[in-house]
Chain A
Amino acid sequence: MTPAERCILAIGALAWAIASTLLVALAAEIPLNERKSGYEFMGPETRAMQDDDSANPGSLWVLDGEASWKRKVGTANKSCADCHAGESMKGVAARYPAFNAARGRPVNLDQQINICRTERQQATPLPLEGKELLALSSYVGRQSRGMPIAVTIDERTRPFLEAGRATFYRRQGQLNFACAQCHDDNWKEKLAGAPITQAHPTGYPLYRLEWQNVGSLQRRLRNCISGMRVDNYPLGAPELVDLELFLMWRARSMPLETPAVRP
């Protein structure tokens, strides 16, 4: 090795050291007043689509959900409306995932709907990510539109919040990536021309133009996770619910937009 080559190597090593120090210095939570919903990263056309109920395709799911809400099902021959009258779901979606004492862990809104279905209505659970479940959670979520996200963090839910936080900050998969490297450190940047965003789950279930469909937060999480080349978690996995809990806590007090529209 010539002295010149040695010099180049040394510069390279130094640059790498500086770069990695910078990366460590950058890894920090977004201050509360700098948080932005995915809405703020969208173009004016997509925003207009979300804001106008008659142009927002998510409205179709809300209407379907309202019909399902009133339909009597199961051996108990009860509808959701038989127990929950009127707009009694106002604020509920903003509080999920919430602790379920019987299961000893938090459950998300879709899981809670299925718990009600199997235990109260004595019906078969709805398939996760299926049209009817998404319609019901859109209908329930719509009633909390504009309300601040407020998951309950206490001694029962804190271990699950911390598990979700650990998942968010853990480097994983073939790319050795953590969620935080994009969504905490680089949300001002773009990835393949699209804004990275801060990953606040403010509008789920939402209509994603790429999907041409309404999807849950878990579907979106699984999208990102497969992009990170991580061995994916199945829909409904406790790891995903913990991550949902952490993300909802991270977006605490931001208004819910369900059903949102995203590109």
Chain B
Amino acid sequence: MARTLINVPPKAKKGEVIAIKTLISHEMETGYRHDNVGKAIPRDIISLFVCTYNGLEVFRAELFPAIAANPFISFYTVATASGTFEFKWTGDNGFSATESVNITVE
């Protein structure tokens, strides 16, 4: 399982705009490189990131080979109710990582 680091404020006021930051360890091998004997290194990237908030999708990003290793994705959403953020990264070779973080909205 890939190592992830997620930053969601533990508490927020209802209607407040909150920043969410996510970091995941991944090589993001482009598929355009060759090894030292000239053999092509196959592509191995994360291709999709989705964040849901209490089951509702609030953010989605498609990732491509030009994105650096260990992708850092930061975005904003509105704190509507206490609950759970779920994060899912999927990619080549059946890569899949999920995380969830709780938030209390007052």
A binding-site residues for B, Cβ under 8 Å: 52-55, 57, 59-60, 63-64, 209, 212-213
Contacts and interface: CB of A to CB of B under 8 A. Distances in A.
B63 interface: no
Given A54-B5, A59-B5, A63-B5, A209 B68 contact: yes
B88 interface: no
Given A53-B5, A60-B25, 16 more contacts: A54-B21, A55-B23, A55-B74, A57-B23, A57-B70, A57-B72, A59-B23, A60-B3, A60-B23, A60-B24, A60-B70, A63-B3, A63-B5, A64-B25, A212-B69, A212-B70
B7 interface: yes
A55 B69 contact: no
B54 to A, nearest CB: 22
Interface in B48-106: 68-70, 72, 74
A213 B7 CA distance: 21
A160 B68 CA distance: 39
Given A60-B3, A60-B5, A63-B3, A213 B23 contact: no
- Residue with the greatest number of chain B CB neighbours at <10 A, chosen from A52, A54, A59, A64: A54
A209 B68 CA distance: 9
Nearest to B19: A54
15 contacts: A53-B5, A54-B5, A54-B6, A55-B23, A55-B72, A57-B69, A59-B23, A60-B3, A60-B5, A60-B70, A63-B3, A64-B25, A209-B68, A212-B28, A212-B69
Nearest to A53: B5
Nearest to B74: A55
Contacts of A53: 5
Nearest to B27: A212
B71 to A, nearest CB: 9
Interface in B1-18: 3, 5-7
A212 B68 contact: yes
B68 A64 contact: no
Contacts of A60: 3, 5, 23-25, 70
A52 B19 CA distance: 13
Contacts of B74: 55
